[in-house]
């Protein structure tokens, strides 16, 4: 019996390792390409790289404008997460606690904004942002992303908010707790795992978005994802620097997910019975 269990666990670990290799290999190959010169890139495929060509990383961020593009992406993605989470918490609490006639239809209507193809909104948003002076501004792109990320965040947090018993609200009010005290000390800690998952997905969506950023930004608020297109020119594609900038794009996402994951785990184990 023990040997069958050992064999089964061996195959499970083997499958997990193969999946991890298949998932991480594109990232490894991206790093290999970013470490090579133009001659090495077109000299033929080699799995391992013994040298490191630093100018691919130095030139875009110190000599070009990709440092500013990276800062713009951080400002826009982080600002969007803050606004979306704040509005989504209030909206889902209202949907969960106050039974207003037609609330189910209203909840479904919010998610339909996410279902619509983004290309449908290109021309209206372009004309609207131009008239309001929001084109190529951080606040304009942050508000624009809220239109699409907020319904998704509400949809994710609705189930988490429904799982929190309403009796906790009543007990808190009986003990003299205010609404803000209830929200900060009871609702938010209990909903923290769902909030962090929503924050991760919202941040990634805002960080990776390309279509609206390419149409509504030019210089001041241009993001790093749209800046990658500048490496493709009429005389060729600078694969080394493009790969290097792409590697740098991964770092903030990995750090943000790593920090948020710790809070997710602590929230899931919060209040667990210990021996």
Report the pLDDT averaged over residues 121-142: 90
pLDDT of 87 reads 92
Q: What pTM did the predictor assign?
A: 0.84
Q: Rounded distance, CA 161 to CA 95, Å?
A: 9
CB atoms within 10 A of CB 263: 15
Q: What percent of the chain has pLDDT over 90?
A: 18
Provide CB contacts within 8 A for 50, sequence distance 6+: none
At residue 73 the predicted structure's pLDDT band, cuts being 50, 70 and 90, is very high
Strand partners of residue 237: 232
Phi, psi (degrees; rounded to nearest 5) at 43: -80, -15
Question: So what's the pLDDT on residue 2?
Answer: 55
Question: Tokens 């749209």 map to which residue?
Answer: 226
pLDDT at 176: 84
Residue 142 contacts residue 85 (beta carbons within 8 Å):
no
Give the number of C-alpha atoms closer than 13 A to the C-alpha of residue 129, restricted to the C-beta side.
Answer: 22
CATH class of 59-268: mainly alpha
Residue 271 scores a pLDDT above 50: no
Report the C-alpha gap between 30 and 247 in whole angstroms.
7
Sort 93 into a burial class: Cβ within 10 Å, 0-12 / 13-18 / 19+. buried
CA–CA distance, 191 with 156 (Å, rounded to integer): 11
pLDDT in tens, 40-54: 888 777 777 778 888
Q: Are 267 and 261 in contact (CB under 8 A)?
A: no
Question: Tens of pLDDT along 201-227?
Answer: 899 999 989 889 988 988 888 999 888
* Rounded Cα–Cα distance for residues 223 and 208 (Å): 9
Q: Is 232 helix (H, G, I), strand (E, B) or coil?
A: strand
Helix axes 138-162, 103-115, angle to 10 degrees: 130
């Amino acid at each position: 019996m023990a040997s069958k269990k050992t064999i089964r666990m061996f195959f499970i670990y083997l499958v997990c390792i193969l999946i991890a290799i298949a998932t991480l290999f594109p990232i490894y190959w991206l790093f290999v390409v970013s470490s090579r010169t133009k001659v090495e890139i077109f000299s033929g495929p080699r799995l391992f790289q013994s040298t490191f060509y630093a100018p691919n990383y130095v030139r875009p961020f110190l000599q070009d404008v990709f440092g500013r593009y990276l800062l713009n992406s951080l400002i826009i993605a982080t600002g969007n997460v803050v606004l979306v989470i704040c509005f989504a918490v209030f909206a889902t609490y209202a949907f969960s606690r106050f039974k207003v006639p037609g609330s189910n239809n209203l909840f479904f209507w919010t998610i339909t904004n996410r279902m619509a193809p983004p290309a449908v909104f290109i021309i209206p948003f372009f004309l609207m942002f131009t008239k309001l002076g929001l084109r190529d501004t951080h606040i304009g792109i942050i508000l624009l992303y809220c239109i699409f990320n907020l319904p998704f965040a509400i949809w994710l947090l609705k189930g988490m908010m429904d799982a929190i018993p309403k009796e906790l609200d009543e007990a808190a009010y009986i003990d003299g707790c205010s609404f803000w005290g209830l929200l900060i000390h009871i609702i938010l800690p209990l909903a923290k795992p769902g909030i962090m998952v929503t924050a991760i997905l919202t941040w990634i969506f805002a960080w990776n978005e390309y279509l609206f950023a390419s149409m509504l930004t030019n210089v001041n608020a241009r993001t790093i994802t749209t800046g990658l297109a500048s490496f493709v020119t009429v005389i060729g594609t600078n694969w080394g620097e493009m790969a290097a900038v792409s590697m740098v794009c991964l770092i903030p996402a990995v750090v943000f997910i790593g920090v948020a994951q710790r809070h997710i785990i602590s929230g899931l184990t919060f209040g667990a019975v210990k021996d």
